[in-house]
Homo-oligomer: A and B are copies of this chain.
Amino acid sequence: MMTGHTMKLQQLRFVSEIAKQHLNISRAALALHTSQPGVSKQIRQLEEELGVEIFARSGKHLSHLTAAGETILAHADEVLRQVSAIKAIALEHADKNAGTLGIATTHTQSRYVLPPVIGRFIGKFPRVALQLHQGSPVQISELAANGTADFAIATEALEQFSDLVMMPCYYWNRAILLPRDHPLAAGSTLSIADLARFPLVTYTFGFTGRSRLDEAFKQHGLAPNVVFTAADADVIKTYVRLGLGVGIVADMAHEADKDSDLIAIDASHLFAPSLTSIGFRRGMHLRSYMIEFIEMFAPHLSRGVIESCALTQNTQERKALLAELTVPRYADLLTVAD
């Protein structure tokens, strides 16, 4: 018989993973829990069947994707997306209300914003196992993009991943936290210049809208004296309490009851608002409880809008869809929820 060698899904997985692993077959094999030689051979078989090289070799290394490979990769990824959609659909129909939900997000979200949402969620979907992954915005994006998590929720650096569909959830701003005996606690309305005069304690760069903060100072030609940074507000508050400096945190992080020993001053007149978004892989099948989660988290995102976004290939169209939404501010969400 002829060596018909009909294309296999595995082979497409291999192609995709090799590309994802920067053309390193060994890494790809590792990531897919299989052997290097197996991957290598399947790739060669696929290339033989297609009659085209997908990867260009220089010596014993894969140097780059060929032109054909570039295009094939895009289609292979699409195939894999569809396949995982099929699996998700099957789960959906096997049991609408059971499954898993992986959320990758930052400390701010998981510590302050998500608890009430997740509380309601597990109340309604007790048989959905929740996994919370915490990390930097970049890590979060990767977790969502590679399927470790279903959703990414964060404020910064998520738009870069073209594989992710991002939807706006709410605008928020900062709160200034002061010890009760701090000089600024007495003053009237705060200015950027006031802040620049004191040591500051805030988020590490890349976290929770830190870049917006820097912009504001820069616009006024001021250099903030940031003496301490942390990735999470709990740590920041601790150091504010020690008198190390003035805390600038997301307003979500201020808890009136537990932080009553600190003075909190709204700083929305000082900084441009930041936008927190939720994202998921393009073309991913959203299980119904996933959609409900989004609705709980961001009530202005309705099932219809979400599904349209999930299906729309074109980034421009998606933007148009989303532009019609009225995105709430976090403070307003709170009053509604209570």
Contacts and interface: CB of A to CB of B under 8 A. Distances in A.
B93 A82 contact: no
21 contacts: A6-B9, A7-B86, A7-B87, A8-B8, A50-B86, A51-B90, A51-B91, A51-B94, A52-B93, A68-B89, A68-B90, A72-B86, A72-B89, A72-B90, A75-B82, A75-B83, A75-B85, A75-B86, A75-B89, A76-B82, A76-B86
A79 interface: yes
Contact of A50 (B10, B79, B90): B90
A92 B86 CA distance: 30
A313 B82 CA distance: 15
Nearest to A66: B93
A83 B7 CA distance: 8
Given A7-B9, A72-B89, 13 more contacts: A6-B10, A7-B83, A9-B9, A51-B91, A52-B89, A52-B90, A52-B94, A71-B89, A75-B85, A76-B82, A79-B79, A79-B82, A82-B82
Contacts of A142: none
A67 interface: yes
A243 to B, nearest CB: 58
Interface string A45-69: 0000011100000000000001110
Contacts of A83: 7, 75, 79
A78 interface: yes
Interface in A170-205: none
B9 A8 contact: yes
| Chain A residues touching B, range | 20 to 34
Nearest to A15: B86
Interface string A272-313: 000000000000000000000000000000000000000001
Contacts of A67: 93
A209 to B, nearest CB: 36
Nearest to A93: B68
A338 B9 CA distance: 51
A85 to B, nearest CB: 5
Contacts of A313: 313
A51 B91 CA distance: 7
A87 to B, nearest CB: 7
A93 B52 CA distance: 7
Contacts of A6: 9-10
A75 B71 CA distance: 20
B82 A78 contact: yes
A151 to B, nearest CB: 21
Interface string A84-102: 0111011111100000000
Contacts of A52: 89-90, 93-94
A143 to B, nearest CB: 23
Contacts of A91: 51
Interface in A211-230: none
A49 to B, nearest CB: 8
A266 B86 CA distance: 56
Contacts of A92: 68
Interface in A229-279: none
